[in-house]
Structure 1
Amino acid sequence: MTEQAATRNERKERTRQALLEGTLALASDRGFAALSLREIARSAGIVPTAFYRHFESLEDLGATLVDDGVTALRLALREVRRNPDAGLTETVRFVFDQVGPKRDLFGFLTRERHGGSAVLRRAIATELQLIVRELVADLSRVRALDEWSPRDLEIAADLLVSTVTDGIAAYISASSREAQHIIDRTVQQVRLISLGMGAWSPPKPR
């Protein structure tokens, strides 16, 4: 690659990142569904027609933000699970470590998960379901849960993921003084769920 081509690619990547960051800033006030392509382009200092050099549509831009957040988190969690010594507490704290530097992005995901664009709601739900499925696979390898059915494991995984995502939502809007309390509370909630799972026996089929 020539130096000129490399510089052109760098400029393109900077503009692309500016579009993503501008969208996060604008969406924090009104939500993604209320944004126009024109104002997003203006936030990055480009004309509207130049937007299409970076994204096929507004939905494509929104899906990229979902990928940057949930998908990156899912892949990071996969790395954590490769460490046999990583327990639930370490995993939950690791999640918040990932969220902390990207509060704007995860604030966007939290808001869009429950309102706004139907396309983004579906994309976020799909990614969260993938996290649930991977957690089900982890739980299925726990000897104490050998008698649990796939449905029981999925319910437990969904409860764990929902607890952590609710914690993230609270963490994002919390003050710096409250943030650590929310992390500690989420860890405690996950511990209690884990204890309950260990004490619960699934009903035997009739």
Structure 2
Amino acid sequence: MAGLVVPPPGPEAGARGGTRLERKGRTRRAILDAALMLSEDSGFGALSLRQVAKEVGIVPTAFYRHFDSLEALGLALVEESFESLRAMLRDIRRGDPSYADVVDLSIDTLVEHVHRQRTHFLFIARERAAGPPAVREEVRRDIELCEHDLATDLAALPGTDAWSAADLRILSNLIVTAMVATAEAILNATDPAEEQRVVGTARTQLRMVLIGALNWRSGS
């Protein structure tokens, strides 16, 4: 076989290359992205497994190597939509900021995250009201986790040491609810000026909530 010349790999080889685990990861990512795109028009509940498989370029049976069902795919989309946002907001509060800084940094982080993961936030905004029951429940659970994280961190801030656990959860619910509404308003903004108004209103709302909260005493 002396003198045999092996041609360089073509572009398709690069796309198919890598370890089996890497290829599986790319296919899983493609399935998630396809589901996000296809659900924009008709909603996740109207998706079929065959639609998703066709968009990705795999046979329907190959879908089950990555997800047990379409419902499991929807739950995975909800989880990844919230996971990085929760981590970023936790990092802000761990920096021992002032109350004003908590508001400003949290709003800035939310705006950045909405722009970076716009399709994910569109998915959450749509499916938390009209999605399949399991997906709606997962959205509700993840919002509750955000509230729990925030209540835990608020308990470490000055002025909240005399608050009851129930009052801390009420405050965290107010803040998270305002942030969810702000994210949806940003998605619906028709131009940068409208988005700036939305963000400015959100900052004022959260500051008003915190000013009132600092003067609150549990049992009042």
Q: TM-score, normalised on structure 2?
A: 0.85
Distance 2:159 2:23 in 1: 54
CA contact (8 A) 1:66 1:120 kept: yes
Is 1:161 matched up with 2:173? no
In 1: Cα distance, 2:196 partner to 2:118 partner: 15
Instruction: After TM superposition, list the pairs within 5 Å mapping 1:115-154 onto structure 2.
Output: 115-154=130-169
- If you compute each CA radius of gyration, which structure gives the higher value, 1 or 2? 2
Identity of aligned residues (%): 37
1:19 counterpart residue number: 31
- Does the Cα contact within 8 Å between 2:81 and 2:121 map onto a contact in 1? yes
Distance change in 2, residues 1:126/1:194 (3 Å): same
> In structure 2, what is the Cα distance between the partners aligned to 1:44 and 1:179?
34
- Which residue does 2:47 correspond to in 1? 35
Counterpart among 177, 181, 184 of residue 197 in structure 2: 181
2:67 aligns to what?
Answer: 55
| Counterpart AA for 2:174 | L
- Aligned partners of 2:122, 2:158: CA distance in 1, in Å? 37
Task: Give the unaligned 5+ runs of structure 1.
Answer: none
Q: Which runs of 5 or more structure 2 residues have no equivalent in the other structure?
A: 1-13
String of CA shifts for 1:41-60, please: whole Å, max 9, x gaps: 11111121111122111111
Matched residue count: 202
Once the 2 structures are TM-superposed, how far is the Cα of residue 11 of structure 1 from its aligned partner?
3.1
Task: Please report the RMSD computed on the Cα atoms of aligned residues, expressed in angstroms.
Answer: 1.9
Displacement of 1:70: 0.8
TM-score (norm 1): 0.90
Structure 2 Cα separation of the partners of residues 55 and 19 of structure 1: 9
2:217 maps to which residue?
201
**Structure having the larger proportion of residues in helix:** 1
**Which amino acid letter does the alignment assign opposite residue 197 of structure 2?**
H
Aligned to 1:76: 88
Aligned equivalents of 2:149 and 2:183: distance in 1?
19
In structure 2, what is the Cα distance between the partners aligned to 1:16 and 1:176?
34
